[in-house]
Structure 1
């Protein structure tokens, strides 16, 4: 049987290293969503923290190790959220952080990276081209390269979300997890299979960025030439083999959703949960919308993994306007 790179004991120990501001995030059943989805839905809110995403759970571990080793500079490629998290954790420990991102990344994410004190380099193209540039900078200057999903700390930091989900009573029937590079899905999936094996682990990715989902179904790495999705946080083209190996051990299914379903899900989360989320965070709700029969009568949890969204783009996608009154009843 193939072994995973993740270790449950290390994940448990991670809770002592990660800043408490990122732990024990809100988890609640949102009854106001349920008439629109046909199932019981609980939301795990990973946006209520200083970087508005789950990524700092992993960067807290990485920067702690880097600081202990005496390193003083790191570089990463990021679609935006990892860069913010690494900047926050690095600043806290006196580490100089360089972030390489695409020029097309949301301005709100880039602005926050700068505000947190990181050096930001923008490149043409997409995330995978940013990853190539970050690798070149690491080799040239001797920086420590932080690679999301490949660095096991990013997975094991995210896995602490799984600890909090597994500690819930009663348990869920299924957990829907946004799938990009794989850190969130492999980490949470690993813990759930260890501590709550009856919970179905379902990964969700946009049809416009399907590389990891195709890889999961093929059981080997499948790359794509391009991506075309508003969910920039999960828009990778080249899955990492080691991460796919881990994912194959813990995911029960991987599904693709349409762009229209993502924007509908964002709209539902706004009007019935009062949440402004980025597209990647709405993937779980989108999956329920596209296959309501599969989830009917079940209790499903989904991780609201990020809330860093360009407001102008958000208004275009969701059709919301500032000051618009929402008469939907609030979550119970």
Structure 2
């Protein structure tokens, strides 16, 4: 089968596994039958949260940090809503690299605390993630250090792509055949990485990306086939709340995604409740986007076997319980 025309390379993706700490690989994949009465379709979960940074991001930062160490580069800076910063801090600490993370002052407190605990320098800006990206780029220029840009740096995409190798592994006895996958869409690393592998090795699988209505820039860009920006974002799914898509990432996405959809905040919250009540999973809002997409269009998914990637579980406990609520869990 021919690879899609993207920046990604299947041989590099296969080789990437040897640079990623095994604790981030071969994550659980299982059919969650308890969810199916509420959703009306077969649902399998790819669980990317049972690791030290509680998200899939370390698959990519392990590649980044390995290359930095091999090249003798000792310092790097990145902008992050929280998960990339944690992952880069973890990967850098293991290789004695210095990392600075730029984040919004309004980012999830739990994520910021973990970045500090992992030894990275943390600088906060009085704005959103796009302002943090600008500040990170300025520091990289000023200090002459490596700027790590999520989704633009191919390592972040190809690290995420290793998830799809595991989805298609015939040795994975708990992985029955599936015909659709729902992927949270933020900067695009997860969607382009997983999508590239699936379209290379099993192109009949339908790749559907999901964003909140309050942060729709990359979804609008996908449908209009050009970069569309937004002035603001308004969503609890902070991990996917970008305003300015990256042109090469959009080009990659157009080659591997079949569709991109937008979902309401209420559906995201219901998805979080269902994952807690029926799968025992505490997830951040971005990780519930796949479930939200099914809730909003049950007819589309009826009779299908859908995989959803549970991509992160770094939540502020107080905010989580405000959203989910004990009464809501009992009523799910």
TM-score scaled by length of structure 2: 0.96
Match of 1:200 among 206, 223, 234: 206
**Secondary structure at 1:16 match in 2:** helix
The match for 1:277 among 279, 283, 287 is 283
CA distance in 2, matches of 1:138, 1:327: 50
Structure 2's unaligned 5+ residue stretches are none
Distance 1:2 1:214 in 2: 22
Give me the whole-angstrom Cα distance separating, in 2, the residues matched to 1:240 and 1:167.
31
Does 1:316 find its partner at 2:322?
yes
Does residue 160 of structure 2 align to residue 158 of structure 1? yes
User: In 1, distance between residues paired with 2:316 and 2:129?
Assistant: 18
Tell me the residue number matched to 1:16: 18
Answering whether residue 186 of structure 2 is matched by residue 184 of structure 1, we say no
What whole-Å deviation, never above 9, does each CA across 1:91-150 have from its counterpart, x for those lacking one?
A: 000100000000000000000000000000000110000000000000111111000000
- Paired residues in the alignment total 326
Alignment of 1:126-165 (within 5 A): 126-165=128-167
Give the CA deviation at 1:325: 9.2
Equivalence for 1:86: 88
After TM superposition, give the deviation of residue 170 of structure 1 in Å.
3.3
Match of 1:260 among 262, 266, 270: 266
Between the aligned partners of 2:295 and 2:79, the Cα distance in structure 1 is 32
Query: Take 1:87 and 1:320, find their aligned partners in 2: how far apart are those partners?
Result: 34
RMSD: 1.5
Q: Aligned equivalents of 1:170 and 1:277: distance in 2?
A: 24
1:43 matched to which residue of 2? Answer: 45
Q: Is the aligned partner of 1:120 residue 2:126? A: no
Separation in 2, partners of 1:327, 1:316: 15
* Alpha-carbon separation, structure 2, partners of 1:181 and 1:171: 28
Unmatched tracts of structure 1, length 5 or more: none
The one-character-per-residue Cα deviations of 1:25-70 (angstroms, maximum 9, x if unpaired) are: 0000001000000000000000000100000000000010011110
Partner residue in 2 for 1:34 = 36
| Cα displacement (A) at 1:3 | 2.8
Output the CA distance in 2 between the equivalents of 1:326 and 1:218: 41
Structure 1 residue 326: deviation in Å? 6.2
Residue pairs, 1:226-305, within 5 angstroms:
226-305=232-311
In the aligned structure 1, how far is the partner of 2:274 from the partner of 2:176?
25
Match of 1:209 among 205, 215, 223: 215
**Alignment TM-score, normalising by the size of structure 1:** 0.96
